[in-house]
A and B are shown apart, each in its own frame.
Chain A
Amino acid sequence: MFEFINALNDPNIPFLRYALIAGLLASLSFGVMGTYVVARRISYIAGAISHSVLGGIGAGLYFQAKYGLDWCHPMYFAVVTALGAALVIGLVSIYARQREDTVIGAIWAFGMAVGLLFIAKTPGYINPMSYLFGNILLVSKTDLWLIIGLDILVVGLGVFFYNKFLAVSFDDEFTKLRGIRVEVYYLLLLCLTALTVVLMVNVVGIIMVIALLTLPPAVAGYFSRRLWQMMILSVVFCMIFTAAGIGLSYSLDLPSGPTIIFIAGVVYLLGAVFSRLIKRFFASFGTTKQRNL
């Protein structure tokens, strides 16, 4: 533990500090949007968006290396691809409901295929593993600014439209009849989810990012009576999982992404077991009390 804190202050390994700051900052968006994703039950859509992001990253890497275009930062391409995927899936699910799952699957795999093709043709050696499973060495100072900017945008809109997103997620027919343009809010929800997914691509990778989006709210759900309580707890859990994961991965010399997800998964499973036991305990307590009356 001390070793990790010392390492954070070590000027020779700034990436560890950047990764931790990136993880803690991104946790804000993850807690807020992850709660909506879990409540609205669209985690498979978030999965498709995050996987398709590889297409953007691949294109960015390719143009950067091949034509020396420095502004072609893979993260910018990732943002654009994620938004594009969100809009396509959203429009298809609004206007052609029965084909939704096919389109989600197609975008999921197609984005990855495009990304891997670009990476294969990019001059020099690039290990796709870094993008698939995360690599904190990739987190740079520029990324931190990007994360701060997107964080403000996502959390700002996510909190401002809280009541609308809550209503759309809970009962979209009634919301529509109140004159709210539910389609617009659904697309906005998907776009904000897309931006959120991009924030942690370098820390946990595109394949596992979906777990960090859904597991903290799933754990928070055991203790929450309101959606906003679930959000606050999700932010806290997401911060704990990322910080503990990065710390543990440094101390034990493990890859950071899988360590973070492993911790989140273990806590979720323990939560599932204990919450059932607790409920059963209260249920049996309730019946004995009734019997005594």
Chain B
Amino acid sequence: MSDSPVILFKNVSFAYGTVSILSDVDLTVEKNELIYIVGPNGGGKTTLLKLILGLIQPDTGMVRLFGEPPERSRYRIGYTPQYIHYDPQFPVTVMDIVLMGRLSSHLGGRYSKSDKRISTEALDELGTADLANRLFADLSGGQRQRVLIARSLATKPDLLLLDEPTANVDARTEERLFEVIRELKLRMTILLVSHDLGFVSDMIKSVVCVNRQVVVHPTTDITDESIRDMYGKEVRMIRHDISC
């Protein structure tokens, strides 16, 4: 079991009605990899995520998560959505939300001391410990994003799934976020989704390009040409510290 790849797609196709979203996708993600998923809007990134999370079933082919159907093993994913639809009047503090990461081991009553400790550590790791008692609705976009990541870290995941973590975030927050990811990738598999290729940095081994088809590029192979192929048009590329 421990040998099975974290994520395995075999000949996976998915269509909404007659509109094909993903066709014939093969993908393998091994343990402790840091994978960057890119592609234009509408290219199928969200569908790929939903398939990994077992929220939708493929029309053909097979999806395995830790060697099992996703519904059975998805509790091992720490999922951070791009944003959540929430009611701004909902009375809920940051700590309340991060504690939700501890739900699967929780039956009822109050959260245990260790649940609270793990949640505090998760907040601390993202440099948001001082926000614990703030109302979620009072936070800025970047702070909210970090709180949601802390919530998925509190699940003690084996696979961290970050959907557009740098959208709506200023450059400084983005930089801090990548410092955190650099730390985290030492102990878990990380999947990062983005619609732009802003910062393929030295810590990423391969980039998964999703645009109906799925193509895996080692970062060394990425050239202006391969990017143009994948987006189908000229895109402006800003790279920081590519050392390879």
> A residues touching B (Cβ–Cβ < 8 Å)?
39, 41, 160-164, 166-167, 169-171, 173-175, 177-180, 221, 224-227, 229-230
Contact = CB atoms under 8 A, between A and B. Distances in A.
B74 interface: yes
A174 B81 contact: yes
A145 to B, nearest CB: 27
Interface stretch (B88-96, B182-190, B194-202): B88-96
Contacts of A167: 100, 103
A290 B77 CA distance: 43
B103 A171 contact: no
A162 B110 CA distance: 8
Contact of A224 (B79, B86, B91, B109): B91
Interface residues of B, number: 30
Nearest to B72: A179
Interface in B51-92: 53, 55, 74-75, 77, 79, 81, 84, 86-87, 89-92
A178 B96 CA distance: 15
B108 A170 contact: no
A252 to B, nearest CB: 35
Contacts of B101: 178
B169 interface: no
A224 B137 CA distance: 13
Given A225-B91, A229-B91, 8 more contacts: A160-B109, A167-B100, A170-B86, A170-B97, A174-B84, A179-B104, A225-B135, A226-B91
A178 B93 contact: no
B53 A177 contact: yes
B99 A163 contact: yes
Contacts of A227: 90-92, 96
5 contacts: A170-B97, A178-B103, A224-B91, A226-B96, A227-B91
A39 B109 CA distance: 19
Contacts, number: 77
Interface on chain A toward B: helix, strand, loop, or mixed SS? Answer: helix
Closest 8 CB pairs of A and B: A160-B108, A179-B75, A178-B103, A178-B104, A179-B104, A224-B91, A167-B100, A171-B84
B109 A171 contact: no
Nearest to B151: A174
A170 B81 contact: no
Contacts of A225: 91, 93, 135
A221 B109 CA distance: 23
B155 interface: yes
Contacts of B53: 177
A269 B4 CA distance: 60
Contacts of A166: 92, 96, 100
B217 interface: no
Contacts of A161: 108
A226 to B, nearest CB: 6
Contacts of B155: 178
B79 A164 contact: no
A242 to B, nearest CB: 23
B106 interface: yes
A180 B77 CA distance: 14
Contacts of B100: 163, 166-167, 170-171, 174-175, 178
Contact of A174 (B79, B89, B110, B111): B79
A177 B99 contact: no
Contacts of A164: 103, 106, 108
Nearest to B109: A160
B238 to A, nearest CB: 32
